[in-house]
Amino acid sequence: MNRIEQIEARRREILLEMGKIRSMRRGTLSEQYLRVLQKGKSEPALRGPYYVLSRQEGDKTASKRLKPDEVVQAREDIEAHKRFKGLCREFEGLTEELGQLSRAFEEEVKKGLKSPSRRRRK
């Protein structure tokens, strides 16, 4: 199998992998702790963790506090999005390489079509 066929096969695999992703979310998940002053105590106590999903929307950051039962799914969705972005970058690189190889191959074919007699006339 030549390099062009290898690239095309990998591109098909990437598209299949992307198609298997059923759920994803952009953003990051962070833990938040709050300092709460309790009656009769001089030092505040930490409460938490509270989980917050944050992501960029335009030039602003949007954050949403998640319920405890939403945290596991949010982590899986964030990992799926990271995987998706990685696949996109790989697909982009392979497609760029495929274009370069295709153009180089076309140039070789064009050069090979010129007859020796035509080259002497130039």
pLDDT at res. 56: 95
Provide the b/e sequence for 3-23 (b: ≥16 CB within 10 Å): eeeebeeeeeebeeeeeeeee
Taking all residues of the chain, what is their mean pLDDT, rounded to a whole number? 91
The tokens describing 39, both together, are 């009656």
The tokens describing 110, both together, are 């064009």
Question: What is the residue whose two structure tokens read 């190889």?
Answer: 101
pLDDT at res. 112: 74
Domain boundaries along the sequence of the chain: 3-121
The per-residue pLDDT for range 82-102, each reduced to its tens digit, is 999 999 999 999 999 999 998
pLDDT at res. 114: 62
Q: What percent of the chain has pLDDT over 90?
A: 74
Residues 38, 57: Cα–Cα separation, whole Å: 37
- 89/37: higher pLDDT: 89
Question: What is the residue whose two structure tokens read 């390099």?
Answer: 3
pLDDT at res. 24: 97
> What pLDDT band is residue 15 in, cutting at 50, 70 and 90?
very high
4 and 102 Cβ atoms separated by less than 8 Å: yes
114 and 60 Cβ atoms separated by less than 8 Å: no
The yes-or-no verdict on residue 74 having pLDDT over 70 is yes
Question: What is the residue whose two structure tokens read 């030039």?
Answer: 59
